[in-house]
Amino acid sequence: MTTHVGERVSRVDGRAKVTGKARYAAEHAAPDLVHGFVIGSAVARGTITRIDASQALALPGVLQVFTHENAPRLARGDKRWRDELAPPGSPFRPLQDAQIRWSGQPIALVVADSLELARHAASLVRVEVAPAPHETDLEAHRERAYKPPPHERPSVTPPSRGSADKAFARAPVRVQAEYRVPVEHHNPMEPFATTVVVDEDGTLTVYDKTQGVQNVQSYLTNIFGAGAGEIRVLAPFVGGAFGSGLRPQYQVVLAVLAARQLQRSVRVALTRQQMFTIGHRPTTWQRLSLAATRDGALAAAIHEAVAETSRFEDYSEAVVDWTGLMYRCDNVRFAHEVVALDLFTPMDMRAPGAMWGVYALECAMDELAVALGVDPLELRLVNYAERDGNEKRPYSSKELRACYHQAAERFGWSQRDPEPRSMRDGDLLVGWGMATGAWESTQRKASARAVLTADGRLAVASATEDIGTGTYTAMTQIAADALGLPLERVTFKLGDSALASAPVEGGSFTVASVGSAVDAVCRELRSKLLKLAQQLEGSPLARLRPEDVEFIGGLLRARADPSRALTFAEVLHRAGIDHLADEVTTRPSKAHEKYSRYTHSAAFAEVKVDPELGTIRVTRVVTAIAGGRVINPKTAESQVIGSVVWGIGAALQEHSVIDHALGRFITHNLADYHVPVHADVPDIEVILVEERDEIVNALGAKGLGEIGVVAVAPAIANAVWHATGKRIRELPITLDKLL
Q: How far is the CB of 444 from ligand MOS (least distance, A)?
A: 11
Q: How far is the CB of 62 from ligand MOS (least distance, A)?
A: 37
DSSP string, 403-461: HHHHHHHHHTGGG---STT-EEETTEEEEEEEEEEEEE-----EEEEEEEETTS-EEEE
Contact 206/233 with Cβ under 8 angstroms? Answer: yes
706 is catalytic: yes
Return d(Cα 676, Cα 477) in angstroms, integer: 32
**Nearer residue to ligand MOS within complex by CB, 87 or 506:** 506
Give the alpha-carbon dihedral of 358, 359, 362, 368, to 10 degrees.
-130
**Nearer residue to ligand MOS within complex by CB, 495 or 507:** 507
**Nearer residue to ligand MOS within complex by CB, 246 or 338:** 246
Largest Cα separation within the chain, whole Å, is 85
Q: Is 192 helix (H, G, I), strand (E, B) or coil?
A: coil
Return d(Cα 638, Cα 470) in angstroms, integer: 9
Catalytic residue among 313, 606, 706, 730: 706
Return d(Cα 497, Cα 393) in angstroms, integer: 38
Task: Please state whether the peptide bond connecting residue 394 to the residue before it is cis, i.e. omega within 30 degrees of 0.
Answer: no
Return d(Cα 514, Cα 508) in angstroms, integer: 11
Tell me how far CA of residue 152 lies from CA of 314, 391, 479, 507, 717, in angstroms: 12, 17, 31, 12, 31
Q: How far is the CB of 349 from ligand MOS (least distance, A)?
A: 5
N-term to C-term CA, the chain: 60
**Nearer residue to ligand MOS within complex by CB, 551 or 598:** 598
Beta strands 490-493 and 458-461 are parallel
Return d(Cα 703, Cα 378) in angstroms, integer: 28
Return d(Cα 22, Cα 207) in angstroms, integer: 13
Return d(Cα 41, Cα 18) in angstroms, integer: 37
Give the H/E segment covering residue 219: helix 213-224
The CB density around residue 559, as the number of other CB atoms within 10 Å, is 13
Q: Tell which residue, 107, 108, 104, 98, has the closest CA to residue 47.
A: 98
Helix axes 471-483, 516-535, angle to 10 degrees: 30
Q: How far is the CB of 361 from ligand MOS (least distance, A)?
A: 19
**Nearer residue to ligand MOS within complex by CB, 348 or 519:** 348
Polymer length of the chain: 739
Return d(Cα 127, Cα 39) in angstroms, integer: 10
**Nearer residue to ligand MOS within complex by CB, 350 or 444:** 350
* Strand order through the sheet with 549-552: 549-552, 555-558, 565-567
Cβ neighbours of residue 33 under 8 Å, at least 6 residues apart? 195, 264, 265, 266, 267
Q: Is 256 helix (H, G, I), strand (E, B) or coil?
A: helix
**Nearer residue to ligand MOS within complex by CB, 45 or 350:** 350
Q: Catalogue the long-range contacts made by 657-660 (C-beta closer than 8 Å, 24 or more residues apart).
A: 657/182, 658/136, 658/137, 658/183, 658/343, 660/136, 660/137, 660/140
**Nearer residue to ligand MOS within complex by CB, 212 or 324:** 212
Q: How far is the CB of 347 from ligand MOS (least distance, A)?
A: 8
Binding region for ligand MOS (CB under 6 A): 211, 242-243, 246, 348-350, 352, 506-507
**Nearer residue to ligand MOS within complex by CB, 35 or 151:** 151
**Nearer residue to ligand MOS within complex by CB, 314 or 399:** 314
Contact 189/239 with Cβ under 8 angstroms? Answer: yes
Please list the active-site residues: 706
